[in-house]
């Protein structure tokens, strides 16, 4: 246990907090070079900025490399079982809405074994933050394909190539009407930090997919669009209220043509006014879904916030029902409850 | 049967015979309202002051094809002027609303018993559906019984004529017409059902009038016609003084959990996926949110237990309820709660298995699942209520032990207890044991797996407590520090510590008591819902002078500390169970006693007579 005895009360950290307040005493055991380090660092940097007492954070995870995350963050933490982190988080948040609850999960954990829970946590709009580390591979079990692995992927369990069509995590979240949906990438720490902060501030479920490189079993999974030399042309940064422009020379854009998106070259008969204006507050999820489906090479890979809408949260609605019952019937009286119904007396 | 007395001043000229107890079974189509009819008869008898015991028996299908054998729904009630513990081996009266109901239930009726049949439903199509080649009401095949054929549908329709209801709505009241007949037959007051009708249909005056009229008409019809030569009176029972209400096992279970939450001053978090026969607990708890209870209908069984564990980690009373198939799905998560040493109560309302099995029938075949059905050495406490009333006590106990020992606790009820009912002497809240939760708040010296010397439990340190930030999880923990540890000696130590922690619960539960002489030839050992039948069977044998005693286990893990010694005082041990010998396997392995099983898995509770036969063979 890490106790910062030099700050405030013995063992407790007082506001304002610093990054090191969120570093636990446990040795981080991810492989050297793993993208998880970057996500951990950005999270630990972001947490103090939220101005929430450290003891009010709970990090919950399932199983997989990413799910070791809570051990390394000096908050309350619960390393759960495979796929079930959203269920544990639901219990924590629904019973204690005042806590800041974070689910750390991976592509196998959230989308394969835990797909059901992921879907339901999202559609209930529980006020939790779900960070999905997507490395498109099973790391902890040493290199089998995952539900986000590309079709045809050759792995130990698919020597002739995977015949599974991959899941797009953003589309799952959007189709379940997640109220906050974003994507970032481990190598762009500034972007990652900004997205995590926005997720933290969103009231309701926040879903963030982070492209995360597994340098042991799936090295370079994202480099074809994320490397410095190509990333401006092969990715697009979603900015709320801005036209969808990309390219090193900002000479390309995304236009809506009927029910489809298309890439246009600016200046060749098209101008910015023809482009789609990104609106994260659009209550309809349809455009967000179209954007989420964009993929290289036909489209640039979108990064940023897809959707951020307001909706009452499950935990506050549940709490409201309790408070409503109390104001209507008075606080529960056990003696009265036991004596309810048809009661008779034997003398 | 006791002496016949004729009630003086009764307007009916027919004999009123006083009897000690009676058993009646209502049977009809799933849509005929037999469960409601039975419940009304039950409540009336309870309020009247009889001791009662009930056995609802209904199909898993909500509305199986009308008139078919699988669609038959039954409700049996035994009511008595004496202390009774079972719904009766054989009904004295069978109310059969259609041929299928007669076909399914006739074999249980006592020889010479009364059959009240709705003759209007004994039509060719219904007879064929029930497999009758000729009409049993007419072909003499019921000559061994007292047949009362009543054109119920027709009479009820006529009685309700003035209300100008749709025929379908009028027909739906015929169960209350039948109820009225049985009220006359057993000299029951109409008032409790009349007030129920009034409260229930306050907003629908026509339906209120129809049901009232149907009930009264049935009663008057029996009173004024020559249907019955006699009717019966069952005097009030000599119950211990106090306030009573009728209660089903599931209601008592819900109340027990609420009581524990109130006494522990911690909110209850009930998380469940609908499943028969446990869903009524969810319905009941959802009605009492003003006790600070949060109920969560999860997306599946795993989510239900996961959320309960999450709530428990956050300092609430995490509770999940289900039946056997649901427990199978929850197993991994229960292991997580064992590893993380969090309080958790799992209510398993057992039903017939394996797999989907017999959803609406009772069985006790999940004992070994509760004890061992997880990966690794994964000990949990296991409790089992023995009567609908004791569901209250044991539900309360489950949370007392779960919080004191920071452990999952199984509460093993079953379909028979869940839906069966009996008069419940309402406890006074002040008399409930004082129990408390002690959260760790002191940061100085805090370690997540520091152990209490007496109980070996670890501290409950909940989020929001400054200075106690810590991480737990399913990986093996270093004792005291709670850090992840793969150390061989530590694992061996932790496995033994977890087992020892559960074993020490034996010091915090009552010793087992013997019913009858403390030593002798045969000891009958039971657990769970077989209490009523076993105790009544043994009592009957004792009255005949046989050297037989019994004991009933409500704590299955750990077992009461005096159990081995008690077993050793008897020559033979008989273990009746509604499974193929699960407790007897435990007793044989734990105590090296030659426990003999008496096992039935028919989806029904034991009959007293079959137990007495089995005991007789041991003497």
Q: Which residue in chain B has the smallest CA separation from A5? A: B467
pLDDT digits (tens, 9 = 90+) for B260-313: 999 999 999 999 999 999 999 999 999 999 999 999 999 999 999 999 999 999
Peptide bond into B277 cis (omega under 30): yes
Domains of chain A: 19-221+312-326 (3.40.50.970)
pLDDT digits (tens, 9 = 90+) for B489-515: 999 999 999 999 999 999 999 999 999
B246-509 fold: Rossmann fold (3.40.50)
pLDDT digits (tens, 9 = 90+) for B458-470: 999 999 999 999 9
Our CA-based measurement puts residue A203 at a distance from the nearest CA of chain B, in whole angstroms, of 19
B15-234 fold: Pyruvate-ferredoxin Oxidoreductase; domain 3 (3.40.920)
Domain range list for chain B: 15-234, 246-509, 520-618
Report yes or no: A109 and A63 within 8 Å, Cβ to Cβ: yes
Residue A96: name the closest of B440, B462, B302, B469 by CA.
Answer: B462
Q: How far is CA B17 from CA A192, A247, B12, B27, in A?
A: 86, 99, 13, 25
Q: Rounded to whole angstroms, how far apart are CA atoms A235 and B22?
A: 81
B520-618 CATH pick, 3.40.50.720, 3.40.50.1000, 3.20.20.100, 3.40.50.920: 3.40.50.920
Helix (H, G, I), strand (E, B) or coil at B73: strand
Where does the pLDDT of residue B64 fall: very low under 50, low under 70, confident under 90, or very high at 90 and above? confident
3-state secondary structure chain A: CCCCCCCCCCCCCCCCCCHHHHECCCCCCCCCCCCHHHHHHHHHHHHHHHCCCHHHEEEEECCCCHHHHHHHECCEEEECCCCCHHHHHHHHHHHCCCCEEEEEEEHHHHHHHCHHHHHHHHHHCCCCEEEEEECCCECCCCCECCCCCCCCCCECCECCCCCCCCCCHHHHHHHCCCCEEEEEECCCHHHHHHHHHHHHHCCCCEEEEEECCCCCCCCCCCHHHHCCCCHHHHEEEECCCCECEECCCCCEEEEEECCEEEEEEECCCECHHHCCECCCCCCCCHHHHHHHCCCCCCCCEEEEEEEECCCCCHHHHHHHHHHHHHHHHCCCCHHHHHCCCCEEEEC
Chain A to chain B, count of Cβ pairs less than 8 Å apart? 242
B243·A56 Cβ contact <8 A: no
**Taking 80 as the threshold, does the pLDDT of residue A3 lie above it?**
no
Report yes or no: B182 and B215 within 8 Å, Cβ to Cβ: no
Mean pLDDT of chain B: 95
Mean pLDDT across B25-41: 94
Mean pLDDT of chain A: 95
Give the model's pLDDT for residue B505: 98
B619 Cβ under 8 Å from any chain A Cβ: no
**Taking 70 as the threshold, does the pLDDT of residue A162 lie above it?**
yes
Give the model's pLDDT for residue A341: 87
The minimal CB distance from B290 to the residues A12, A331, A339 is found for A331
Q: Which residue in chain B has the smallest CA separation from A85? A: B306
Question: Does B246-509 match B520-618 in CATH topology?
Answer: yes
Report yes or no: A76 and A1 within 8 Å, Cβ to Cβ: no
Q: Which residue in chain A has the smallest CA separation from B461? A: A76
Q: What ipTM was assigned to the predicted interfaces of this complex?
A: 0.96
Mean pLDDT across B553-559: 98
Give the model's pLDDT for residue A2: 40
Show residues of chain A in contact with B292, CB under 8 Å: 322, 326, 331-332
pLDDT digits (tens, 9 = 90+) for A214-243: 999 999 999 999 999 999 999 999 999 999
What region, left, alpha or beta, does residue A33 occupy, with left being phi > 0 and alpha being psi -120 to 50 degrees?
left
Return the structure tokens found at B241: 């003084």
Give the model's pLDDT for residue A268: 80
Show residues of chain B in contact with A98, CB under 8 Å: 464
**Taking 90 as the threshold, does the pLDDT of residue A94 lie above it?**
yes
Surface-to-core class of residue B151, CB atoms within 10 Å of its CB (0-12 exposed, 13-18 middle, 19+ buried): middle
Mean pLDDT across B338-352: 98
**Taking 80 as the threshold, does the pLDDT of residue A347 lie above it?**
yes
Find all residues with CB under 8 Å of B319, minimum gap 6, and list them: B257, B268, B269, B270, B271, B308, B344, B345, B347, B399
B271 Cβ under 8 Å from any chain A Cβ: yes
- Report the half-sphere exposure of B3 (CA within 13 A, side-chain side): 3
B244 Cβ under 8 Å from any chain A Cβ: yes
């Amino acid at each position: 246990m890490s106790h910062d005895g030099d700050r405030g009360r013995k063992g407790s950290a007082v506001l304002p907090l610093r990054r090191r307040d969120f570093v636990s005493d446990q040795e981080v055991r991810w492989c050297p070079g793993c993208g998880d380090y970057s996500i951990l660092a950005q999270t630990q940097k972001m947490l103090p900025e939220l101005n929430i007492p450290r003891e009010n954070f709970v990090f919950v995870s399932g199983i997989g490399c990413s799910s070791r995350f809570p051990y390394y963050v000096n908050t309350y933490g619960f390393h759960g079982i495979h796929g079930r982190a959203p269920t544990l988080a639901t219990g924590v948040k629904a019973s204690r809405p005042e806590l800041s609850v974070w689910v750390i999960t991976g592509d196998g954990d959230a989308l394969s074994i835990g797909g059901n829970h992921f879907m339901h946590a999202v559609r209930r709009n529980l006020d939790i933050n779900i960070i999905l580390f997507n490395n498109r591979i099973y790391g902890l079990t040493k290199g089998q394909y995952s539900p986000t692995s590309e079709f045809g992927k050759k792995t130990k369990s698919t020597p002739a190539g995977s015949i599974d069509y991959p899941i797009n995590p953003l589309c799952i979240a959007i189709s379940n009407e997640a109220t906050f949906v974003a994507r970032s990438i481990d190598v762009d720490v500034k972007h990652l930090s900004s997205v995590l902060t926005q997720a933290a501030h969103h009231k309701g479920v926040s879903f963030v997919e982070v492209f995360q490189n597994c340098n042991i079993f799936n090295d370079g999974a994202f480099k074809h669009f994320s490397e410095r030399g190509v990333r401006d042309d092969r990715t697009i940064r979603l900015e709320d209220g801005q036209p969808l422009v990309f390219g090193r020379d900002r000479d390309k854009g995304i236009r809506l043509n009927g029910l489809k998106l298309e890439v246009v070259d600016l200046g060749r008969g098209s101008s910015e006014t023809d482009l789609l204006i990104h609106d994260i507050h659009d209550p309809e999820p349809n455009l967000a879904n179209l954007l989420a489906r964009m993929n290289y090479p036909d489209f640039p890979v979108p990064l940023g916030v897809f959707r951020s809408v307001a909706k009452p949260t499950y935990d506050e609605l549940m709490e409201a029902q309790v408070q409503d019952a109390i104001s209507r019937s008075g606080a529960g009286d056990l003696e009265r409850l036991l004596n309810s119904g048809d009661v008779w007396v034997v003398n | 049967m006791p002496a016949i007395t004729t009630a003086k001043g009764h307007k009916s000229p027919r004999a009123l015979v006083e009897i000690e107890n009676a058993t009646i079974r209502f049977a009809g189509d799933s849509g005929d309202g037999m469960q409601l009819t039975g419940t009304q008869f039950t409540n009336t008898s309870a309020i009247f002051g009889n001791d009662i015991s009930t056995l609802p028996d209904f199909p898993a299908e909500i509305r199986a094809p009308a008139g078919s054998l699988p669609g038959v729904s039954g409700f049996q009630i035994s009511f008595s002027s004496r202390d009774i513990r079972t719904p009766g081996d054989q009904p004295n009266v069978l109310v059969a609303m259609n041929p299928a109901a007669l076909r399914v239930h006739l074999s249980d009726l006592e020889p010479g018993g009364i059959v009240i049949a709705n003759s209007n439903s004994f039509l060719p199509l219904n007879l064929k559906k029930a497999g009758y080649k000729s009409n049993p009401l007419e072909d003499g095949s019921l000559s061994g019984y007292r047949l009362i054929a009543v054109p119920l549908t027709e009479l009820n329709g006529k009685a309700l004529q003035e209300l100008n209801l749709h025929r379908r709505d009028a027909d739906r009241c015929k169960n209350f017409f039948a109820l009225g007949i049985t009220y006359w037959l057993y000299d029951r007051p109409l008032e409790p059902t009349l007030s129920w009708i009034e409260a229930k249909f306050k907003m629908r005056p026509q339906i209120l009038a129809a049901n009232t009229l149907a009930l009264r008409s049935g009663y008057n019809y029996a009173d004024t016609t020559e249907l019955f030569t006699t009717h019966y009176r069952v005097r009030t029972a000599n119950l211990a003084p106090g306030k009573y209400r009728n209660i089903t096992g599931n209601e008592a279970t819900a109340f027990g959990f609420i009581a524990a939450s109130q006494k522990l001053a911690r909110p209850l978090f009930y998380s469940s996926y609908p499943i028969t026969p446990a869903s009524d607990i969810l319905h009941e708890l959802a009605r009492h949110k003003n006790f600070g209870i949060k109920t969560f209908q999860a997306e599946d069984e795993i989510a239900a237990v996961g959320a309960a564990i999450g709530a428990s980690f956050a300092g609430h009373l995490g509770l999940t309820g289900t039946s056997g198939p649901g427990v199978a799905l929850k197993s991994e998560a229960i292991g997580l709660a064992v590893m993380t040493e969090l309080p958790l109560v799992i209510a398993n309302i057992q039903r017939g298995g394996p797999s989907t099995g017999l959803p609406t029938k009772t069985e006790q075949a999940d004992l070994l699942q509760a004890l061992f059905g997880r990966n690794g050495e994964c000990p949990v406490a296991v409790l089992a209520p023995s009567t609908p009333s004791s569901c209250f006590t044991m539900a309360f106990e489950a949370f007392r032990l779960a919080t004191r020992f920071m452990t999952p606790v199984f509460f093993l009820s079953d379909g028979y207890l869940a839906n069966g009912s009996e008069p419940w002497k309402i406890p006074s809240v002040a008399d409930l044991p004082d129990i408390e939760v002690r959260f760790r708040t002191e940061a100085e010296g805090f370690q997540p797996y520091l152990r209490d010397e007496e109980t070996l439990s670890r501290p409950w340190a909940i989020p929001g407590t400054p200075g106690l930030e810590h991480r737990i999880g399913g990986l093996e923990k270093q004792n005291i520090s709670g850090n992840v540890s793969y150390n061989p000696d530590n694992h061996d130590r932790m496995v033994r510590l977890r087992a020892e922690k559960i074993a020490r619960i034996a010091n915090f539960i009552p010793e087992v008591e013997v019913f009858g002489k403390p030593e002798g030839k045969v000891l009958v050992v039971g657990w769970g819902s077989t209490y009523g039948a076993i105790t009544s069977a043994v009592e009957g044998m004792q009255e005949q002078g046989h050297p037989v005693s019994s004991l009933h286990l409500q704590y299955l893990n750990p077992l009461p500390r005096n159990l081995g010694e008690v077993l050793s005082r008897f020559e033979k041990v008989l273990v009746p169970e509604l499974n193929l010998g699960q407790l007897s396997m435990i007793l044989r392995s734990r105590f090296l006693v030659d426990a003999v099983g008496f096992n039935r898995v028919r989806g029904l509770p034991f009959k007293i007579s079959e137990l007495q036969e089995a005991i007789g063979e041991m003497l």
